[in-house]
Structures are given as C-alpha cells and as structure tokens.
Structure 1
Amino acid sequence: MNTSISIGSKIIGQSYRPLIIAEMSGNHHGNIDRAFAIVDAAAKNGADAIKLQTFTPDTLTIDSKRHEFLIDDSESPWFGKYLWDLYSEAYMPWEWQEELFKFARNKGLACISTIFDISSLEFLLSIGVDAIKIASFELIHIPLLSEASCCGKPLLLSIGMATLDEIQKAVETIRKRGCENFILLKCTSAYPSTEKDANILTIPDLRSRYNCYVGLSDHTLSPYAAFAAVAHGAVMIEKHFTLSRSERGVDSSFSIEPAELHQLRLGTEMVWESLGKVCYEPLSSEKTSLKERPSIYVVKSIKSGETFTHENVRIIRPSGGLLPEFYDQVIGRKAKVTMEAGTPLSWDIID
C-alpha cells in the first residue's frame, strides 16, 4: 500500500483527515445553473471534491420496454421507471463537465467522475479528471476495470452488492495492470440505505485483506455511518449532495443538503482527530490535572517527634506530597519537624 494517494491537490492517507466527496449525480435536474450552484455549495460547506457521472442513456442500456428493463422494486425511488427513461432524466451533458471542473478547481475542489464505458473514460481523461470512480454496479465489468487501471489516474471502486470473490477478481485485475493507486469504498447499494446495513466493520477487514486504503460510499441520510467508518480507518467519505431534497429529483431522496454536508465535514474531522495514536503518558493538555492528583498531606498540626497516624495524615488532593502508595510506610513513623495542616509530606521531614 502506498503511503498516500494524491487526487488533484488533495492527499489521501491515514495521516490525513478523511477526504469528503460531494456526489452531484442527477441532482442537477438538467439545469447547468443548478449544477454550478451545487459545486459552489459543496465548496462552501466543506467538500474536498465534486463527483459527476459521465454517461449517456445508450452507454448504459438500450431503449427497451421489456420487463427486464423495468425497475419493479416498490421500495426503490425509481419504481416503475424503465432504465432508459431513468438514465435520460439523470444524464448530464458531457459538454458541461469541463466547465464544471474548471469552476470546481477555482473553488479548491478536486474533480472526479464515474465512468460506465470506455468512451466516458477517454472523454474524462481528455478534460483532465483527477480520479476515476467505478460504481458498485460496474465492479464486475472486468474489461472496463482493465482499461481504467492503465489510465494513470487513481481509481475509486465501490463494492456494493459484491461478493468476496468479485472484489478479489476486481483487485487482481487492476493490480495485474500495475495500478496500486486505488481505494476500495465500502458501500450498500440501497437508495437510501440504513445504518443497520452499513456493516462498517468490513472496512478494516478490506484494508487487511487487500493492503489498500478503504473509504465509504454512503447512501444513508445521517452522518453516523460515516463517523463510524472514520473511526475504523476510512480515508474517504462519499455522499450524494443536493441543494434541497424538497426540490425532488431522481437522486434527491438519498442526498444530503448543505448544512448536513457541513456537519459531515466537521464531524469526520473531529472523529479522525480523536483517533490520535497509542499513548500511555501524560499529555501537555493534562498538565493542570496532574497537579490535582492525590498525595499524602498533613491534615492536623504535628509537633517534631510526634507519630504519624490516620488522624493527622491522609491521602488527599492535590499532588505535591508523597505518592499514595507510600501511605502505609508513613503511618507509625515520626515527624522530624513541626508541621502545620496542609503540609505535603516528603521523606526528608520523616524520621
């Protein structure tokens, strides 16, 4: 595993806070001004990268009304739509994408897009994409993975629905072509998904199995799965992003809004900072607290030659006296000097 991976000007690795990707998907609603507004809102609310999807309906499917092409899951946000019609609605004109990338870079964002065939890969390379995303559905598209692994750009591979054998084959495919700059993204391909299906413990297992960085492509509406993912080593969080779910659209029901993106950015960074390192020593921030640890003090005035008893010496806060572990050794011994209450005990004043 590389020590870090660069996506545009952004650096990804365990030593860096998690990268936050705002996925526009179909939330542009076919309006270029809205697409620019989404990029702007993503930048203002803490995203590190914007992600588009580069396809046309006929690069994904054919215009067929056979039942195989109908989404018949009543729980799906796209229930009752034919694939061609859905992709026609979600499609972003390719001529927008270079201008959106330029705008995003001026806002400090890295630029990523999902490919679905060779033509989309070639197009994105021609406009200077920073990284290539492989959607969960295309993880089994071995010819596409093979071609993408030679493009010289980092690859992000979502693994929703995938079996271990399918993930293994995908990783073997890209590594055979010399690609080591890749990140596996734990994903649940349900729209929206629920926290109980997040299975975040898969993240450290993926990292161990494939010796690679792992992130989360998250379709829940809350930030909690993302926080858990960062706690388990995720280096990247991807969320669908819209200006407002109330405006509706093909992907709005599982997209987060600007205020939620802002909280995601703050929360993941705080979780990442809290991981820190393995540490078994006092921190500089604990300096004041160290002074409040208990120690052995005189609690009643003692004359020189008087015996220390449970009544005139106690273990109390603050520090400054002998450590509590020496209390039994002090009891029964005599004072070398006269001491007032509140005097911290030390060996040089004990006979």
Structure 2
Amino acid sequence: GVDAFKICSGDVTHLSLIRQVAGLGKTVMIDTGNSTLGEVERAADTVYSTGNNRLVIHHCPAGFPARLEEINLRVISTLKSMFDCPVAFSDHTPGWEMCIAAVALGADMVEKTVTLDRATRAPEHIVSLEPEEAKRMVKSIRDLEKALGSKRRVLTEEQLEERKKKMRSLFAKEDLLPGVKITEDNMNDCIEYRRPGDGIPACLDYLLLGRAPRCLVSKGRKLRWEDIGTLQ
C-alpha cells in the first residue's frame, strides 16, 4: 500500500534490486549518498528501462551530521540538468537552513527526519527536528516559494503606481518660448528633472535636443509630447 520506494545510497549499484522495485510501477527515490554521477545515471536508466518514469533523485550528503564543506548544494542544479525528474535534498545537518537553501537552488522536495526528542541517543536524532520546529521549517519553505516568484521581471499594479511617484519627468526650468530650440548648450537651463514620473521620462531627455516648443511652456510645468515640435 505504499506510494513510493526509496533506494538507499548503498544500493545504488544494486541494479537488479532497482529493476525489480521499479517494475512495481510506484515512485522510486534514489539516494545518491557516496555514489558517483555515473552510478546514479545507471540507476536512473535502470528505472526508466522498466517503463517506470516515476523517479526522484535525492542529493544526500553523507554523515550525521554532514560537514558543511561537503554538502555541495550546487549539485542540485547539476542533477536537475542531468535528469528529467524531480530532485530532492536529504538534509543531515542540525536546523533547517540547508533545506531553505536547497529549495532556493531548485530542489523540488526536501527530506528531514523528525524526532519527538532530539536528546535521544542515536545518530539521526541530533540532526532531526522536533515537531514544532518541523512546522516552522515547512512555513519557512512555503514563504520562500512565494518569494521566489517568477523568472520574469513583471511589475505589479502597485509597483506601476509607485513608480509614478518615485520616477522623474521633464519639467520646464524656465519659461520655454515657442520656436526656441533646445540644445546641449541650453538643456540644463531649460529642463529640470522632477517627480512625479507620469510625464516625459527623464531618460528620454535626449529626444528634446534639436526641437523647440510649439507654444509657451510656463516655468515649472510638466512637459508633454504635444508641447514639443519636430526636429529642426
């Protein structure tokens, strides 16, 4: 009645076992542990050879606790590029900081042991979380997932409104007379850059060069494109 089987790191090269387990059609989780990438690849190919595509690769640093310099979280990116399947992180460190970092680096799943009492005398208990800590870890990961957002840089409606207040537009620094051309020499005397940013953007000031106002633009007024004539 289980939904998945996990192959421990010591059995990654036990291909006949992996083939038999994969043949059951359930999800197969492969712990990488002390295995080489080549061994993990052969194990994955063995799962796929049975027609079972339900595979999860676990980046699983060895040790209780694992040494920080041997965790190599960036391997998560390597595994994701090598295998077309979810990649998990099995955490063997105290706390849950490494789980947060793993999710930020693209881990689809984290594995963390839970204990009722971390003082229990057994190797895994010292790197396990007690129930309330586990709840906080899950909340931290859910918050991170929201914060990660999208790879696309898209401004929200709130940001679009806020940028109008904070960006700068072009304003007349003095009365701008019709027919008097704006040049590089007089630009600083004619134009100033002020908020709000709902007029001609400050970054487009160069488009005024060689142009003259069509009509009088009073000092302090926000410039509009219809105020400006064509190049002269």
Going from structure 1 to structure 2, the CA distance change for 1:266 and 1:303 (only over 3 Å counts) comes to same
**Of residues 289, 294, 298 in structure 1, which corresponds to 2:172?**
298
Distance 1:186 1:214 in 2: 7
- What is aligned with 2:197? 319
Asked if 1:212 corresponds to 2:85, the answer is yes
Asked if 1:339 corresponds to 2:227, the answer is no
Deviations 1:69-108 (A, max 9, x none): xxxxxxxxxxxxxxxxxxxxxxxxxxxxxxxxxxxxxxxx
Asked if 1:191 corresponds to 2:70, the answer is no
In structure 2, give the amino acid aligned to 1:313.
Answer: I
Contact 2:176 2:213 in 1 (8 A): no
SS in 1 for 2:63: coil
5+ residue gaps, structure 1, are 1-127
SS in 2 for 1:205: helix
In structure 2, give the amino acid aligned to 1:147.
Answer: Q
Deviation (angstroms), 1:336:
1.3
Deviation (angstroms), 1:323:
2.1
- What is aligned with 1:121? none
Contact 1:159 1:185 in 2 (8 A): yes
SS in 1 for 2:39: helix
What TM-score comes out, normalization by structure 1 length? Answer: 0.56
Alignment of 1:215-226 (within 5 A): 215-226=88-99
- What is aligned with 1:228? 101
SS in 2 for 1:268: helix
Distance 1:220 1:232 in 2: 17
Alignment RMSD, CA only? 2.6
Contact 2:193 2:202 in 1 (8 A): yes
5+ residue gaps, structure 2, are none
SS in 2 for 1:314: strand
Q: Which moved more, 1:187-196 or 1:283-292?
A: 283-292
Q: Which moved more, 1:287-296 or 1:242-251?
A: 242-251
Q: Relative CO higher for 1 or 2, CA cutoff 8 Å, sep ≥ 6? A: 1
Matched residues, percent identical?
26
Aligned residues: 222
Distance 2:123 2:102 in 1: 27
Deviation (angstroms), 1:304:
5.2
Deviation (angstroms), 1:176:
1.9
Alignment of 1:72-151 (within 5 A): 128-151=1-24
Asked if 1:348 corresponds to 2:221, the answer is no
- What is aligned with 1:178? 51
Contact 2:172 2:217 in 1 (8 A): no
Deviations 1:231-280 (A, max 9, x none): 23211100111123134445211212234322321232233333333324
In structure 2, give the amino acid aligned to 1:296.
Answer: L
Distance 1:312 1:280 in 2: 35
Contact 2:89 2:109 in 1 (8 A): yes
Going from structure 1 to structure 2, the CA distance change for 1:259 and 1:288 (only over 3 Å counts) comes to farther
